Structure 1
């Protein structure tokens, strides 16, 4: 849905500079529904021209937060700021935000061009200006030749691009995306991710996206805010969150991880050692826990190698292949170990040291830098 507001004179569909975006601030947002707290004290700053994704499982509060930004939900407490101006009480039609829904929300009886022109008609933009802007918007999403078709004559990916063109045609202050790719199959979703990322770079607008798809969040975003049970758990760049998760939930939700629990032993300038059963594990980390402290580590499956006989590594653990799957580009193994339990291991298929087989004895190895300490999640 595109909020109705007077069109800004001389506005263009695409301005390829982040300076044309607007800054969004969420300050202490709380939303109660009776005794249920959907969002609990969330503060997020979104920079001009940034692509922010709100990521979390179902019921995490991400859609409630997006609807609060759009103005469809009034927070119980907190402020929504646009370029520092408080718009918390401003109704949706006065916010001038573009929005793309999961189901596209196209008018089936209108052509593609008429769908894209709809926000301009609501804003009483002149017909010559409508034609110019619609043409520019359709060119932006590469749908010029489909202008006279009806939505039913388009593929799912094409319908999604029409929805994007309609949301951008009136030069919105922000573009809000509510699970925009979830209705598409995996291959088409991957293609649209690339197109959406390129579109964001071209238009220079501030995008706020909601998804539960981790790969989509990693692929599209400048920054990700991870929510769980209404709380903001961690925010940062995709690389920061993936490589340095702070909690078990973040490590487990954003990608896959092995969790290694042990007791801290001696520290050294370059890190410390934990002992899991009888197995010592070296960890390279700036913060060193006191001896005897319980430590939980996150170890990504792709950071574990199968070692050849005699090959060295900071950490070496023997095990037996319990199960394996061929994924085209690689193998996904589950390796049983005596002290660490089953460990997931991802191997590249083309240069795997040997073909996996159930019951095969292996030596696992990883660097002291591979595993990072994480906090257990609060109850």
Structure 2
């Protein structure tokens, strides 16, 4: 299978309403050629509805779907030439691996010789050539997922749509297949649109992420941009863990949170109410005498060990309970209940975020 340049996808003002209930509202989204975009959000956020609109299985109530600038909103699914991988793989149990992969080519009435060549190429691509004569029940979950990928790619689709393709796998296998899927995307150069509710998967796989909630597109951007500079409380809280600190902007570069003056790098208008997002891994436990832009004393009220890291809950006077993550290897101390600690973080570690908008009606 030769590497090709992917196709560009654009959604313009896309909405879907069912009997007065809004599933998605006013979605404007551009997917660049050859990119890997993930639609990320909790259950009921509208991400699967949006994917089905892209696929052509659901007709939007408003807006347009464009492929390379051409309006395909009214085009039925079979005319869009999109490959799709479902959560349950949807393999035919009575067919062999090769027959499953060949199915889209049979539907398109390709000759037998052409089918055989394309099936061989697709199975090579997903490293399953040796399993061509097996049936799905003889394969592991990860192997079945690869068969579904090969079947979705065998007819050279314009786009590959992925509906939670890794959610049925255990955590270790899911991590392995994330790497394989990312490498596959790099090799073939097509445009991928993926749906997931798994934040780590979205961060690992994607060139760009579009975060949805309540039927609205809340924020989109590169994974690092969304993680480091969330615009709203929902994005900060959904895409990883965060502490939220409330205060009032005082003099330039300072926020007053009760009796604690916090130094921040973001420009803020004086007397403005501020909500700050502070990631747990950006907080340090300070040895006595070590300087930091922000120093806050507290007591450890709880902790857990997760192998690579300790997660601590530290009760502070003005900021309330704060979550802190530190590497377990060579940790500066061993956590224990009631231990007095000093938390420290840099001025640019905490970023201001907006309160969340109400959900779409």
TM-score between both structures, scaled by the size of structure 1: 0.94
State how many pairs are aligned. 358
Q: Of 335, 342, 352, which residue of structure 2 is paired with 1:356?
A: 335
The one of 202, 206, 211 aligned to 1:226: 211
Matches within 5 A, 1:80-229: 80-229=65-214
Aligned match of 2:21: 36
Structure 2 CA distance for aligned equivalents of residues 328 and 26 of structure 1:
42
Q: Does residue 272 of structure 2 align to residue 293 of structure 1?
A: yes
Task: Specify which of 316, 322, 330 is matched with residue 337 of structure 1.
Answer: 316
Q: Following the alignment from structure 2 to structure 1, what is the Cα–Cα distance between the partners of residues 353 and 92? A: 48
Alpha-carbon distance in structure 2 between the residues aligned to 1:131 and 1:292 = 71
Match of 1:302 among 281, 296, 300: 281
| Number of the residue aligned with 2:290 | 311
| Matched residue, 1:325 | 304
1:53 aligns with 2:33: no
In structure 1, the residue matched to 2:351 is 372
Alignment pair present for 1:239 and 2:239 = no
SS at match of 2:251: strand
Candidates 234, 254, 267, aligned match of 1:273: 254
Structure 1 Cα separation of the partners of residues 2 and 200 of structure 2: 27
C-alpha separation in 1, matches of 2:107 and 2:333 = 64
String of CA shifts for 1:64-104, please: whole Å, max 9, x gaps: 00000000000000000000000000000000000000000
- What is the aligned partner in structure 2 of residue 21 from structure 1? 6
Residue 288 of structure 1: CA displacement?
2.0
- Partners of 1:21 and 1:204 within 8 A in 2: yes
Runs of 4+ displaced beyond 6 Å: none
Structure 1 residue 115 displacement after superposition? 0.2
Q: In structure 1, what is the Cα distance between the partners aligned to 2:265 and 2:315?
A: 25
List runs of 5+ in structure 2 lacking aligned partners: none
- Structure 2 distance, partners of 1:49, 1:158, is 25
3-state SS, counterpart of residue 308 of structure 1: coil
Partner SS state of residue 330, structure 2? coil
Q: Per the alignment, in what secondary structure is the counterpart of residue 250 of structure 2?
A: strand
Query: How far has the Cα of 1:14 moved from its partner?
Result: 3.5
Whole-Å separation in 2 of the counterparts to 1:274 and 1:70: 48
1:38: how far off? Answer: 0.3
Q: Distance in 1 between matches of 2:147 and 2:189?
A: 19
Distance 1:39 1:109 in 2: 38
1:28 aligned counterpart, secondary structure? strand
Cα RMSD of the aligned pairs, angstroms, is 0.6
Is the CA contact 1:14–1:204 (under 8 Å) kept in the aligned structure 2? Answer: no
SS of the residue 1:121 aligns to = helix
